Amino acid sequence: MELTDIRVYPLKSAAGLARESALVHPWGLEGDRRWAVVGEDGENLWLGEFPRMVSVRTRELGDGGLAISAAGLPDLTVPPATGPAVPVGFSGLDRAVAADDAAHAWFTRLLGCPARLVWLDDPRRRPVSDRHGGLPGDVVSFAWDAPLLLTSAASLRRLDDWIAEEAMERLEEVPAPLSVARFRPNVVVDGAEPYAEDGWSEVRIGEVGFRVSELCDRCAVTTIDPDTHARGKEPLRTLARHRRWDGRTWFGVRLVPSNPGTIQLGDPVTPL
């Protein structure tokens, strides 16, 4: 089994960036989800509610700033965040650093509601909740519930097969295979049996060990096409038939690093 895909998301809910290698910190991959967009009350303006967020392309700048672009809006260079600490509604975190006014105005225009861009100055301030498998000392960026998300290419192929089979049963056109981008993983592995990851408790990728903190329950974000931004019924409809228990649907596993290090494409992946 080997590592076939690495992705970071500099801005939470925006498009991801492919990487050939990545430095692993206790809170996640270098550059992953240190920025987020919040409303006036500090609550996360997430992709499930605002599908246009996935149209935002980002590029990290050497000085700590962020370049952002989206269709229909002018490109914007956001300088390093030095604004006041403002309230945010993320679990385990009450404040983050505000970006400049131009960034707030850009996202307000994009989403059609008051919005602010914020930066997490120190991810060590946000603990992983014990409700999601966190242990004392575990920390996380603006990511959901764990530093990394792992998915399996074999599991996605099996899901595509299920979707195709059910489409044929309904006498519908068989859809194209789903993009793994719908699931917003940090790492994708291949070479295991479909859904073998359900049974892992630990896994090593190259030189870095990880603890599996929990399986990942899936939400409406997966029904948004990352290219067209349109919503559909898949994959939740099919996951609900094959991968539903405890009132939720499941795909992928969440990881907490056991040690820092670097991972790269082609690294061997070994469940422990």
Instruction: Please report whether residue 52 resides in a domain.
Output: yes
CA atoms of 230 and 189, how far apart (whole Å): 27
CA atoms of 260 and 22, how far apart (whole Å): 11
Instruction: Please report whether residue 38 resides in a domain.
Output: yes
Closest CA to 207 of 55, 23, 53, 59: 23
Q: Which residue in this structure is represented by tokens 């997966």?
A: 222
Closest CA to 152 of 255, 258, 224, 227: 255
Instruction: Please report whether residue 208 resides in a domain.
Output: no
Domain count, the chain: 1
Q: Which residue in this structure is represented by tokens 């004392």?
A: 136
pLDDT of residue 96: 98
Instruction: Please report whether residue 187 resides in a domain.
Output: no
pLDDT of residue 70: 97
Q: Side chain identity at 78, as an amino acid letter?
A: V
Q: Mind listing the pLDDT tens digit of every residue in the chain (272 residues)?
A: 999 999 999 999 999 999 999 999 999 999 999 999 999 999 999 999 999 999 999 999 999 999 999 999 999 999 999 999 999 999 999 999 999 999 999 999 999 999 999 999 999 999 999 999 999 999 999 999 999 999 999 999 999 999 999 989 888 999 999 999 999 999 999 999 999 999 999 999 999 999 999 999 999 999 999 999 899 999 999 999 999 999 999 999 999 999 999 999 999 999 98
CA atoms of 111 and 255, how far apart (whole Å): 31
Cα Rg of the chain, angstroms:
18
Domain that holds residue 49: 33-125
CA atoms of 259 and 248, how far apart (whole Å): 31
pLDDT of residue 222: 97
pLDDT of residue 54: 95
Instruction: Please report whether residue 181 resides in a domain.
Output: no
